[in-house]
Structures are given as structure tokens and as C-alpha cells.
A and B are shown apart, each in its own frame.
Chain A
Amino acid sequence: MAQASLIGTERLCKQYETAAGPMPVLRDVNLAIARGEFVAIMGPSGSGKSTFMNILGCLDLPTSGRYTLDGRDVSTLDSDELARLRNRVIGFVFQGYNLLPRATLAENVALPLLYAGAPRDLRSDRALELLEQVGLARYATYMPNQISGGEQQRVAIARALANRPQLILADEPTGNLDTKTSHEIMQQLVRLNAEEHITIVLVTHESDIATFAKRLVRFVDGRIIHDGGVSVATLEAAPA
């Protein structure tokens, strides 16, 4: 893996122990993602794409193989260093938004700053600035359940951006949204990729969402079966 890549995996394997014996989910996955890329990961349920995302996000560890993020071998890091990577290098956007229900939008956005140890004034200023960026500054003191799903996802994006990450991991970010809102969210990610050069890795099973990306990786049975450009032909060849 070239040092220039942000993400590199070498013979990455993950298997779960079940009553029927070990069940492999990822088999020898080799993938390099350079800085500034916009990659969509597709694949049927159980293909290992979500597990792969979790490993990329340092939320889960591989059974074997090497995962390098920002030049560091993740398997050698302790839990505090992993937390630091999740906090500073990675921003997460989930399908279910995952905002804290009892915190205001501003508090939700400021949370990564809290764990980064930023002082209070800086936190609230930055939270407002980020909400402004996603067009929701006027709702700063609202609770998540007072706004729509699309708006919640925009708040989640604002939160992901709090510590100016190099990488955004989006796991089915539009899964719960209608087409129009989905496209708005995707436009936002495209803009972040283009203007702020943030690397984006997106998991989706919707072809039209995948077309927003520049590169498509398709998983089947824990292996990468396609890695290349996004075109209507490749998308239709094996629908997810």
C-alpha cells in the first residue's frame, strides 16, 4: 500500500465464531483508498460490506490482516488511540442518524468537540457555525425529535464535520429518506468531497445513490468482485 493512501487493507479477514464453527465474513480483502476519493461500497445483505465499514471506522477489529489508516497500523493501537482516531480523523454518518435524543442539536454537534477537549466557548461557536453550514442554525436549541429525518441527517453531517475529519464514513445515510431528501444529502457529501477534499466512503444498496460517487467497490460473500468506475453498465450488471 502506498503511503499516500488514506486507507489501506491487506489480506483483511473477519470471521465470527458461531455454534456451527467459524463463519467468515471478510476474506482477504485488499483495498486502497487515496485521499480525496469518493467511494461507494455496494453488495447484497451479508456480503460483508457493513463489517468492512465498521473495521474502517475502528469500531470493530479484523480477525487477521492489516488495516492502515492515515499511515498508522490500527491493530497496534490501544483503545484510547482508537477513540482519538474516531474523534479526529473520522466522521460518521449513520442510517438512523444516531443523534442523542435528550440533547439539543447544538449539543449534539458539539459532542465530538467535547471529547476532543475543546473549551466551552469554542464548542458552542463551532457548533453554530456547523449548523449554519447545513442550513439549520435557527434550530440550534431544538431537540432531534422536533425536526424531520432529512434535517436530522444534516445535523449528523454537521456533527461528523466537527473536528475537521479527513474521512467521512457514511453507512446507508439515505436509507430512511425519500428520494428528494436523499439527493440533497448526497449533494452535501459531494460538495464536501469536492470543496473540502474530504475522503468519503459510502455504503449503499441504492444504485442512484452510488452514482454520486466516483468509484464503486462491490462486495459479494466477503470478497471484492468489482472495483472501478461508476457507470450505469456496472451498476446494472449485478444489482445489489
Chain B
Amino acid sequence: MIATMFQEAWHAMGANRLRSFLTMLGMMIGVAAVIMMLAIGQGAQYSVDQSIASMGSNLFIVLSGSTTSGGLRLGTGATPTLTTADAEAIGELPSIAAVAPVAPGSAQVVYGSNNWNTMVTGTTPGYLEVRDWSVHSGYPFTDSDVRSAARVVLLGRTVVQNLFGEVDPIGKTIRIKQSPFLVIGVLTPKGQSLNGQDQDDAALIPVTTAQRKLFGSQFPGTVRFIMAQANSPQAMPSAERDMTQLLRQRHHLPERTDNDFDVRNLTALANAAAQTTRVMSIMLGAIASVSLLVGGIGIMNIMLVSVTERTREIGIRVAIGARERDVRTQFLLEAIIISLLGCVVGVALGVGAAVAANFVASVPVVITGAAVLLAFFVATSVGVFFGFYPANKAARLKPIDALRYQ
């Protein structure tokens, strides 16, 4: 019975092809917009999530604080108050899983006839743990390398590509600011950070080597900042409290004076960024849904016209025994067919547009089966919802009025 009614609905649509197509067009555009917006929103979310994951989890960054000298307030990090010893002390705290002091600097690196400017980071083996980073080939440097201020280096992929090309860099010697360094490992590629920096454009060396042999500071033993990882997301507030307390004690700060350092919760910042993207993608979806709604209203409009035009046909059907529900099913089926067909074409259009956007403008897009399913579900619901009123109107026609209608 349903199969026959389906066939009849199909015929009815074929009777007025242009109109059926235009009605469908509303659905197509709506669905295509939803699919495309979801793809772009989820793409943005995906790249943000990737960046967050590449940053490391439950992360704090401790910066040396601001200072006031002769009424002139200097910014964060102006006074080098943090030392590798502070980092070691933080590492002893029970709420902290890993810690790494960071003494970075920009330097020219040279191998043979190639040279490249990169960020050279002096740190400890803990850095890889904190940043959730691993060594792709070769070995990381060790605590004893740090103690002996060894001239060893781990290179990011971008540096390797620029200095070595296809050559295996492990065991080769490069020069950083004229000093020779032995390449002992290559880092796993990480991609872009949240603010768009290439995280693979990096070289890691022992912090002691950086302090003593490369960047030589007027405050020996200090570092620019310390990265620390809490045990768990739940441990983050207590870790922040513990670190603050510890550093105030170590820096002999009397009560009621400001901290000479600054503890920042990086994960919270990153989550805020992720939240922003999420809100953005929901907004995109919501805006696109409006066009779906408009498409639905288009269906309702046409179905109402169709019911009026076919009043006599409804009368004939009722006279030969169609029940109210038969008439209702017939018109509902038409509405559903229009929405579903519109949806199929709309999905194809939306996926095509998203892929094109990715190809032409390199916008990150993610198309999930869930999004497509959602589109189908919503389109069917729209068909049923907006088809119901006209279908019910048709079913409720008085037989005699319908039959007399000219």
C-alpha cells in the first residue's frame, strides 16, 4: 500500500516538475548550507583541538614578574627572577607531574652550505614530557647532558628540512652561533600552534648549555620561564596554589608584596579558545538552519497550493473509500519525498562546496557521517512538520465539498 502511495506521490510531483524542483531547491540550499557550515565549524574546531593537544595538557607557564624601577613599570619577564633551581623545586611538588625550565633564544643554525634561523630552546628532558612531545628518530638528551652542559641538539622537522633536505641528520654536527652541536635526535612533527606558529621550527638543547655557552646572561642560572604540568585537570587549582606558595618562599617575598613571578594556566586559555570555536560553529550551524526553516516553509506553501488544486481529486478518493489517514499519508509522503530528495542533492552540494573551499581557500573542513545523518534527520522532520498541516487540511476536507469543488 505504501509502495503504491509512494508511486502516486512520485507521479503527482512529476506532474508539475518546475514547481517540485523549485520547492526542492529551498531544501537543497538549506541542507547544503548546514552541511557546509558544519564542515567548516568542525574543521576549525578540529584544528584548534589539534593545536591544544600539541601544546600539552594540564599546562602552567610560570613567567618572571614585572618590576618597577624608578617609577617605570616594566612588563612581565623584565626581571629574571626564575632559576633552574626554582624549576627543580617545583618538580618536587606532589601536584606536579613534570616541569621544564625554558631559556629560549633565536639563533642562526648552519649545516654545510645551508643555514636557517630558528628558535633554540634551552631546557631539560622534562620538556618533552610537559609538551607531550616525542623523539621521532635518535634519542633525547638526558639529565647528565644537562649537568655537563653537553653540546647536543634535538631538531624539529622544519629545521631538518631546511638544513639537511633528504640527508639523515642524526650524528651530524651543526653550528649554532658558531658553536658545534651534535644532532642526537629529530622531534615528531607537531604542526601549528594556536596562534599559528610552526612548532616544528625548533631546536632543543640542554638548558645549561644555552645559559653558559650560547645566550650568556648577566644573571647566571636564570631562565625566561618554567613550564609545569599538573597531575590531572582536577589538580590544577592546588598545583597553582602550591607553586605560588613555594616560589614566594624561595624568593623571600614578605607578605603583602606582589609576586615577582606570574603563574598562568595555559590549558584554561586554550580551552577558552576551543570554547570560542565551538560557539562559532554552533552559530554557523544556527544561521544555516534558518535557511532550512525557510525551505520548510516553502514546502508548506506549495503543499497548501497543491491541496487546494487537487481538492476534487481528494473528493474522488474519499468517495471511493479513502480514509482520512490515507489522504494524510499521501500528502505527507509528497512532502517527505520533496525534502528527502532536496536533502540528497543538498548533501552532495554541501560536501562539494566544503571540499572546494578546502581545495581553493585551504579552509580546514571536517565532514562527519553524523553531520550528514543529522541533515537527513532534520530534512525528514522538516518535511513531516511542514507537510503535516497541509496534509491534515486535505484529510479534513468534507467529502461533499471536495467533490463539488471545480
* Interface residues in chain A, defined as those with a beta carbon under 8 Å from any beta carbon in chain B: 54, 57-60, 79-80, 83-84, 86-88, 92, 94, 98-100, 102-103, 111-112, 114-117, 120, 159, 163
Contacts and interface: CB of A to CB of B under 8 A. Distances in A.
B222 to A, nearest CB: 88
A112 B319 CA distance: 9
A203 B361 CA distance: 75
Given A100-B313, A111-B317, A80 B323 contact: yes
Contacts of A115: 317, 320-323, 326
Given A57-B319, A60-B398, A83-B321, 4 more contacts: A60-B400, A86-B319, A86-B321, A100-B316
Given A98-B316, A102-B12, A102-B15, A116 B321 contact: yes
Q: Among A59, A79, A88, A103, which residue has the most Cβ atoms of chain B within 10 A?
A: A59
Interface in B38-87: none
B317 A79 contact: no
Contacts, number: 67
Contacts of B11: 102-103
Interface string B8-48: 10011001000000000000000000000000000000000
B329 to A, nearest CB: 11
B319 A98 contact: yes
B324 A92 contact: no
A92 B399 contact: no
A69 to B, nearest CB: 14
A86 B318 contact: yes
B210 to A, nearest CB: 84
Contacts of A79: 323-324
Contacts of A102: 11-12, 15
Contact of B321 (A88, A100, A103, A120): A88
Nearest to A169: B319
Contacts of A111: 317, 320
A59 B320 contact: no
Interface string B305-341: 0000000110111111111111000000000000000
Contacts of A80: 323-325
B403 interface: yes
B1 interface: yes
Interface size on B, as a range, is 20 to 34
Contacts of A84: 321, 323
Contact of A60 (B4, B8, B320, B399): B399
Nearest to B324: A79
Given A102-B12, A115-B320, A115-B321, A59 B1 contact: no
A26 to B, nearest CB: 14
Nearest to B399: A59
Contacts of B326: 83, 115
A202 B322 CA distance: 23
16 contacts: A60-B399, A60-B400, A83-B318, A83-B322, A83-B324, A84-B321, A86-B319, A87-B322, A98-B315, A100-B317, A102-B11, A114-B4, A115-B321, A116-B321, A120-B3, A163-B321
A92 B316 CA distance: 10
Contacts of B398: 60
A88 B316 CA distance: 15
A50 to B, nearest CB: 10
Contacts of B403: 59, 94, 98
A102 B317 CA distance: 13
Question: What 5 A-B pairs have minimum CB-CB distances, sorted nearest first?
Answer: A87-B321, A115-B321, A83-B323, A59-B399, A60-B400
Contacts of A59: 318-319, 399-400, 403
A112 B320 contact: yes
Nearest to B4: A114
B328 to A, nearest CB: 12
B12 A92 contact: no
Contacts of B400: 54, 59-60
A115 B327 CA distance: 10
A117 B2 CA distance: 10
B321 A112 contact: yes
Nearest to A92: B319
A76 B8 CA distance: 33
Nearest to A55: B400
A88 B400 CA distance: 18
Contacts of B315: 98
B394 to A, nearest CB: 14
Contacts of B8: 103
Contacts of B325: 80
Interface string B111-141: 0000000000000000000000000000000
A170 B405 CA distance: 19
Contacts of B321: 83-84, 86-88, 112, 115-116, 163
Contacts of A99: 316
B323 A114 contact: no
